Amino acid sequence: MGFLFFAMSKNHHKAIEHLFRTEYGKVVALLTHKFGTSYLEQIEDATQDTFVKAMQVWAYQSIPDNPTAWLYRVSSNRMIDVLRREKKVEYREAGELQPKSTIEHSTDPFLDQTISDSQLKMIFACCHPTLSEEYQIILSLKLIGGFSNKELAEALLKKEDAVAKSFTRAKKKFREEVQLLKIPVQMGLQSRLFQVLRVIYLLFSEGYAATSGAQIIKRDICYEALRLALLLQENKYCKHPNLNALIALMCFHASRFDARLDEAGELVTLEHHDRSKYNQELISIGIRHLENAGTLDRTPSDYHLEAARSYYHSTAKNFAETDWKSILYLYDVQLKLYYSPMVALNRIIPFAKVHGAKKGLVELETLEPKNNFEGQGLLYAIKAELFDELNHTEAQQSALKKAIALTENELIKRHYKKKLNLS
């Protein structure tokens, strides 16, 4: 009985985690639209308390057929109770409780016509031009994606305490500058589009390669990011080559989900993927969007270049037939246009495939002093792979041990430990 309750509790916990990832941002966005940005702190508290209550209640009861409605209703009622206690609400003629500061707020028809999804409304509001780019990213990923400070720190290459302080300052600025989730119809959307795309990209990236925890793929986050991007595409003012390229990129990556883990749930590297498991429908959708992402006289974006690389990986018949020369070329173009230390680090693999492991190691040793890769387990994982190809067993083991020490994702850590034991 105790074991059964434990198993049920684990299943419920997993379901709650799934709902947190998919519903947290929706609830926060709906409550912010209903009560106003000035109550953002209370909205966060109410939403988090509701999820805690859900874990307690649903541990003994079945999860409701419509959990989203339950979460929204409970959190909304909690907000009303909080505001009543703070004497910031009053009754309308219909008997409905509403915050005083938002009683005059009528529905903005342009808002609903422009962006039909509450999360997209929230993302565009978080990307308000009066907020710094850092604040825009932090607010969006915290409030829409439910990112922890650790996940944000990894995504932005910052320390956790710095992220926490920035989030506090960003919320204060948001409350002061963004009174309502009101979005301009045309130019306002277009001026914020690039930042919104970056938010969606970061959302997907964390889901595709989770930086911590026991999972390598958080499909909930990935599919939510893809859904938001597809929703953006429905709006005529958001149509842009970069959006098509981003959708293509996400489709190509998502097409390989089933091949990335074996039946035991362990990590499978690209070299050993069962390519019959690749989702051909997603690959076809990705190809269509990549074809529609033509840049004409525009410079290709990061999304174009990454999508093109992922296209080669997704369509190669096997690992040996991968077009590494084209992939390396795309990396070189991206580094020339938009230099990034992590892109430079990831480039080492195709460079080694084209020029050999020995030259790859020289390239890596040249790159390392020029960039701050402190704390990056990937650096040592790549070193270990190159040393392995060169049959430098002792150096490979040393690099693997460093990679293990610096890796927070348990699945990747286990994968490195297996390689260490086999070497």
Q: Read off the pLDDT of residues 107-135 as tens digits, 9 standing for 90 and up.
A: 443 333 334 567 777 888 888 888 888 89
Domain boundary among 49, 74, 105: 105
Q: Is residue 328 included in any domain, yes or no?
A: no
The reply to whether 129 and 46 lie within a common domain is: no
CA distances from 302 to 201, 288, 330, 337 (A): 10, 18, 10, 9
- pLDDT at site 254: 95
Percent of the chain with pLDDT over 70: 83
Overall domain count for the chain: 3
Reported as a single tens digit per residue, the pLDDT across 166-178 is: 999 998 888 888 7
The reply to whether 142 and 86 lie within a common domain is: no
Q: Give the list of residues 6+ apart from residue 52 with CB closer than 8 angstroms, or none.
A: none
Distance CA 377, CA 382 (A): 9
Q: Is residue 273 included in any domain, yes or no?
A: no
| pLDDT of 106 strictly over 50 | no
Domain boundary among 90, 105, 120: 105
Instruction: Grade residue 211 by pLDDT with cuts at 50, 70 and 90.
Output: low
Encoded tokens for 16? 């709650």
Mean pLDDT of 226-253: 91
The reply to whether 196 and 164 lie within a common domain is: yes
The reply to whether 345 and 375 lie within a common domain is: yes
The reply to whether 115 and 200 lie within a common domain is: yes
Q: Is residue 144 included in any domain, yes or no?
A: yes
| pLDDT of 8 strictly over 50 | no
Of all helices (H) and strands (E), which one includes residue 98? strand 97-99
Of all helices (H) and strands (E), which one includes residue 89? strand 89-91
Mean pLDDT of 307-324: 96
Q: Is residue 367 included in any domain, yes or no?
A: yes
pTM of the model: 0.79
The reply to whether 31 and 93 lie within a common domain is: yes
Q: Which residue did the predictor score with more confidence, 173 or 191?
A: 173
Domain boundary among 105, 126, 157: 105
CA distances from 112 to 25, 33, 121 (A): 18, 11, 9
Q: Is residue 267 included in any domain, yes or no?
A: no
Average pLDDT, the chain: 82
Query: What does the radius of gyration of the chain's CA atoms come to, in whole angstroms?
Result: 23
The reply to whether 121 and 81 lie within a common domain is: no
Residue 186's domain comprises 110-210
Q: Which residue did the predictor score with more confidence, 61 or 199?
A: 199
Q: Which residue did the predictor score with more confidence, 346 or 217?
A: 346
Distance CA 41, CA 154 (A): 24
Highest-pLDDT range among 75-84, 219-228, 322-331: 322-331
The reply to whether 343 and 379 lie within a common domain is: yes
- pLDDT at site 27: 86
The reply to whether 97 and 115 lie within a common domain is: no
Reported as a single tens digit per residue, the pLDDT across 34-45 is: 888 888 889 989
Q: Is residue 184 included in any domain, yes or no?
A: yes
The reply to whether 127 and 80 lie within a common domain is: no
| pLDDT of 207 strictly over 50 | yes
What sign for the dihedral angle of Cα 49, 51, 55, 56?
Answer: positive
Q: Is residue 257 included in any domain, yes or no?
A: no
The reply to whether 32 and 82 lie within a common domain is: yes
The reply to whether 84 and 126 lie within a common domain is: no
Q: Is residue 263 included in any domain, yes or no?
A: no
